[in-house]
Amino acid sequence: MKGSDLRIKLLTLKHHIHQQLLEFLASPNAPIYLKVIGVSLVFFLFILFVQIVSLIWTLISYHRDPIAYLREYYDPLTPRYVDTSDFRTSDENVFDLNAYREELFKLNEFNTYLSDQLPINRKHKDPRSESCRIAAKRLPQDSELASTSIIIVMYNEELSTLLRTLVSIVLNTPMESVQEVIIVDDKSSRDELGRRLDKEMGQFPFVKIIRNSKREGLIRSRIIGSKAAVGKVLIFLDSHVEVLEGWFPTIVARVMEDRKTVVCPVIATIDHTTLNLIADKYTGIWGAWDWDMSFRWRPIPPREQQRRGFDDSAPIRSPAMSGGIFAIDKEYFFEIGAYDPGMKIWGAENLEMSFRIWMCGGALEINTCSFVGHIFRRTGLVTQTVTGETALQQNTKRVVDVWLDEYKDSFNAAVPSNEKVEGGDIVSRVLLRQRLKCRSFSWYLREVFPDQPRPERDFVGFGEVRGPSDVCLDNLGPGVGHQVGVFSCHGKGQNQFWKLMASGELVSDNLCLDGDGENPRKIVLYECHGLRGNQQWFITEDNVVMHGGSGKCLTHDGKFLQLLPCDMTDDRFKWKFAAISQDVLKKFHVLYAKQFGYTTKAERAKKEAERKKRKEEEAKKRAEQEKEREKKRAEEEAARKEAEKKREEKEKLEKEKAAKAAAEKEKDEEEFRKWRAEKQRLEEEAKRRREAEDEDKRKFEEEQRRKREEEDKKKAEEERKRREEEAEERRKFEEEKRLRQEKEAEEKRLAEEKEKEEREKAEKENEEKAMEEREKLKEDTKAEDDDDTKKEEAVIEKDDNDDNDSAKDQPEKEEDNQEIVKSGELEVKEKLDLNSESDQKGVVDDEMKEFLAWKAAQKKN
C-alpha cells in the first residue's frame, strides 16, 4: 500500500469519527454523563498523542544530533552550589552580578560564569600547520587505528567544562576507534556531579563512570581507570580540556608504530579569564625541569630543531612531560610500572614517569600535529597535607630517592626542606628499576637532556638566596616585567629557586634578573638576552652581590629589591646561596673580577705575602747592620764596665767594713731599746688587765642588782594588774548577771500576765457558751409546750418532769465544764512551773558557761 493511500484512509477515518462524535454530543436524547465521559476521553487521547509525538521527536533528535540534545537539557543559568540570595543588594530587586561572577571564579579558579554561557560544542580554529595537514593524509584510516580507552579523572569539576571536554571528544574524534570514555569520579562532593551527571552520560553508551568510595587522588584514580580500560591504547586527559581537530589519529598512530613511545599532544592554554584558546606559542617549546624538581616549559634547543630537520610536523623528543595528557600502549604502561601507587593526590608523577620512560628503554615525544586546549587555573585547587607536608613534597622525595642517583645532593641543596620530608617505602620502585635494567641518571643528562645546566658545571650558586633580615630572594610570581622582591624563606624552591650562571646571569624560571642603574628600585624579570649589561651580576667571596650595569650592590627595602652604592663590610648587601660550586666560582672570579674592580682573597693573600717578604728582607738587612753596631758598642762597654767593676769592688770592701762596725753598734742599741720597750709594754698590759677585771666585776654586780630590781618591779606590777583585771571581771559579770535577772523577771511577769488574761478569756467564753445553751433550751421547751397544749395532761406532766430533770442536769453540766477548764488550767500551770524550773536551771548553767567563755576570751586578749 502506498503512503498516500494510507494517509487518505487515515484522514477519512478521522473525519468519520469526528462527525459521529459531534452528532452524539449534539443529540438531545444522549445522557449528560455520557457526554462528559466522551469529552474526557477525547481530551485524554489528545494528551496521550502529544506525549507520544514528543517522545518520538526526542529520540529522532538524539540519534540525529546527540550534542544538540545534551545542550537542550543543560541549563547554565540554574543555580547549583552558590546561594544567589547572598548577592542581593540592599534593594532586593537588584542582583550583584559582579559579586556572583567573582564567587564562581573563586570556586573553580577560572571564569565559571562565562563557561556556563559558552556553547558546549564551540568550535576552534585548526591550529595545525600545513605540513601537519599534509602528514595527516598519510596516516592510517580511522577504522585501522587501535581501539582506545580515554580516561578522565575529575574531582568537583565544573559541569560545563566537563561536558565541553566530552563534547569536544565526540566532535573531533573518530568514535569508531574509541572503545570507551572512562570518567573516574574521585568522590566529588557537588550534587550536580551525581545523579544529574549519570543522567547526562547515560545518553552516551560509550561513557563509563567509576566512582571512588573514598578520595584517592589523581594518581591512584588514573591507576583505577587504566585497570578498568579494555582498549589497546590509553589516552589520559584532564576534565577541563577541549580536544581540537585532528588530535587523535596522529598520536594513536605513533603509539601503534612504536609501543615504547609515549606521545603527548601540544597542550595549548585556555585562558582562565577569557576562556580563549592560545595555541601558537606552544609549538616551539618542550617539557623540561629545574633542579628543584619543578616542571618547566623551555624553548626547543637548536640541536633538537636540527634533528627534526626543521620540520614542523616532526615529533619533539621531550625530556619530560607535563603529566596530564598523553597516549601510551596499555601493555607497555603496566610493563614499566604504571604510576607509582605510593604517591599521594598529585604532583611530581609526570617527572617520575618521564625519567622512568627514558632511563628504562622508552621514548617520550610531543606530537606537534596534535593539539589539546587546557584551562590552567588562576591558582591550584588541590592541596593536601600529609603529616605536616604537602603531597607534592612527599612525591618529589620519592622521585629524587629512586631516580636521581648522585644528583640527589644537588636537589637537596636547592630545596633544603626536602631532607626532613618522609617519602614512604620506596623498595618496590627500586626493585622495579632493577628489574627493568634502567640506565643511570648521568646517562639521562648526557644523552636525553644534555642542554640541562648542571650544578657542578654551569652554576656559581643555586637554590634559595638568603639575604639581609633573614628573608629570601623571591620572584613574587614569575612574569616578564614582574618586579622582584623578598619573602619569608620556605625552603621549597619554586619562586625562591635561583641560579647564578657562570655567565653572570641570575635566573628564575628561565627569566633573568634585570637591574636599572639609573632607577635603583626597578629590578624586574626579563627574558634572558645574553648581552650581560643590566643582566650581569657578580658575587664576591664575602657574599656581596654586585650589578654589572651600574657597579652598585643588591639589597632590599623589606619588600622589593634595590641597588645602592656598595659597602663590602655592610651586612645589608650580603646574600647567601644555598649551594655554591667552588670550582665554578673560582673560574667566575678569574673571568669577571677585574671588570667589577674586585680582588679575590687569593690575590689579596698573594700580594700580602709578597709585601711581607720584602718587609722581612729589609728588616733582616737592618738587623744585620744593627748587629755590627751593637757588637762594637758591646766591646767598648765591656772595657768600661771592667774598669768600673774594679773601682766598685774596692769601694765596696771599704763600705762593707764601715757598715759592719756601724751595724754591730746599731744592733746592740736596738736590742737595748727593744728590751726596755718590752718591759714597759708588759707592765702596762698587767695594769690594764687589772683595771679591766675590776671594771667587769663592778659591771656584773651592777647588772645583777638592776635585774633583780626590774624583776621585782615587774612582778608587783603584774600582780596589781591581775587583781584589777579580776575585780573588773567580777564587776562586769555581776552587772551582766543583774541585767539578765531583771530581764528574765520582766519576761516572766509579762508571761504570767498574758497567761492570766488567757485564763480569764477562757472562763468568760465558757460562761457565755453555757448561757447560750440555757437560752436555747428554754426556747425549745417553750415551743414544744405551745405545740402540745391539746395533748393529754399525763403527757404534759411527763414533759414537765422531763423539763425539770433537764433543769437539774444543767448545773451538773456547768460544773463539769468548770472542772474541765480548771483541770486544763492546772495542767498548763504545772507545765509552766516545770518549764520555769527547767528554764531557771538552764539559765544558771548558761550563765556559768557564758561567764567562763567570757573570762577565757579576756585572758586570751
The region of weakest confidence among 18-27, 175-184, 391-400, 478-487 is: 18-27
pLDDT value of residue 382:
43
For the four alpha carbons of 771, 777, 781 and 783, in that order, the dihedral sign comes to: positive
Residue showing cell 584517592:
216
**Contacts of 858 by beta carbon, 8 Å cutoff, 6+ apart:** 725, 729
Helices 159-172 and 66-73: crossing angle, nearest 10°? 170
pLDDT value of residue 293:
86
The region of weakest confidence among 199-203, 205-209, 594-598, 814-818 is: 814-818
The region of weakest confidence among 42-51, 148-157, 249-258, 620-629 is: 42-51
> Residue 493's closest CA among 376, 383, 413?
413
CB 149, CB 229: distance < 8 Å: yes
In sequence order, which ranges of 65-129 are alpha helices (DSSP H)?
A: 66-73, 97-108, 112-117
CA distances from 438 to 75, 336, 414, 430, 442 (A): 52, 10, 26, 10, 12
pLDDT tens-digit map of 731-748: 888 888 888 888 888 888
- pLDDT category of residue 821 using cuts at 50, 70 and 90: very low
What pTM value is reported for the model?
A: 0.61
Q: Which one has a higher pLDDT value, 492 or 615? A: 615
- pLDDT category of residue 437 using cuts at 50, 70 and 90: very high
- pLDDT category of residue 545 using cuts at 50, 70 and 90: confident
Q: How many CB atoms sit inside 10 A of residue 658's CB?
A: 9
CB 577, CB 472: distance < 8 Å: no
Burial of residue 297 (CB within 10 Å: 0-12, 13-18, 19+) is middle
How far is residue 818's CA from residue 763's CA, in Å, rounded to a whole number?
A: 8
How many helices (H) and strands (E) are present in the chain, helices listed first? 21, 26
CB 558, CB 469: distance < 8 Å: yes
How far is residue 279's CA from residue 268's CA, in Å, rounded to a whole number?
A: 5
Phi, then psi, of 577 in degrees rounded to 5: -75, 145
Coil vs helix vs strand at 672:
helix
pLDDT value of residue 257:
92
How far is residue 167's CA from residue 67's CA, in Å, rounded to a whole number?
A: 7
Q: Which run of H or of E encompasses 39?
A: helix 32-64
Looking at every residue in the chain, the average pLDDT score rounds to 80
Phi, then psi, of 450 in degrees rounded to 5: -70, -15
pLDDT at 547 over 90: no
How far is residue 452's CA from residue 288's CA, in Å, rounded to a whole number?
A: 8
pLDDT tens-digit map of 291-323: 888 888 888 999 998 998 888 889 999 999 987
pLDDT at 728 over 90: no
pLDDT at 425 over 60: yes
Of these ranges, 180-184, 553-557, 575-579, the one predicted with the greatest mean pLDDT is 180-184
> Residue 388's closest CA among 368, 417, 411, 359?
417
pLDDT tens-digit map of 640-653: 888 888 888 888 88
CB 182, CB 206: distance < 8 Å: no
CB 406, CB 442: distance < 8 Å: yes
pLDDT value of residue 74:
43
Q: Which run of H or of E encompasses 510?
A: none
The region of weakest confidence among 473-482, 486-495, 784-793, 831-840 is: 831-840
pLDDT tens-digit map of 233-266: 999 999 999 999 999 999 999 999 999 999 999 9
Across the range 565-578, mean pLDDT stands at 83
pLDDT tens-digit map of 366-412: 999 999 999 988 765 444 433 335 788 889 889 999 999 988 888 88
CA distances from 159 to 76, 78, 325, 614 (A): 9, 12, 20, 85
Across the range 340-352, mean pLDDT stands at 89
How far is residue 352's CA from residue 426's CA, in Å, rounded to a whole number?
A: 13
pLDDT value of residue 28:
67
Percent of the residues in the chain that have a pLDDT greater than 90, as a whole number? 19
Coil vs helix vs strand at 343:
coil
The HSE-up count of residue 763 (CA atoms within 13 Å, CB side) is 11
pLDDT value of residue 159:
86
CB 605, CB 436: distance < 8 Å: no
> Residue 563's closest CA among 470, 484, 616?
484
CA distances from 33 to 30, 509, 825 (A): 9, 87, 104
> Residue 573's closest CA among 591, 588, 555?
555
The region of weakest confidence among 65-79, 511-525, 809-823 is: 65-79
Percent of the residues in the chain that have a pLDDT greater than 70, as a whole number? 78
Q: Which one has a higher pLDDT value, 305 or 10? A: 305
pLDDT value of residue 81:
45
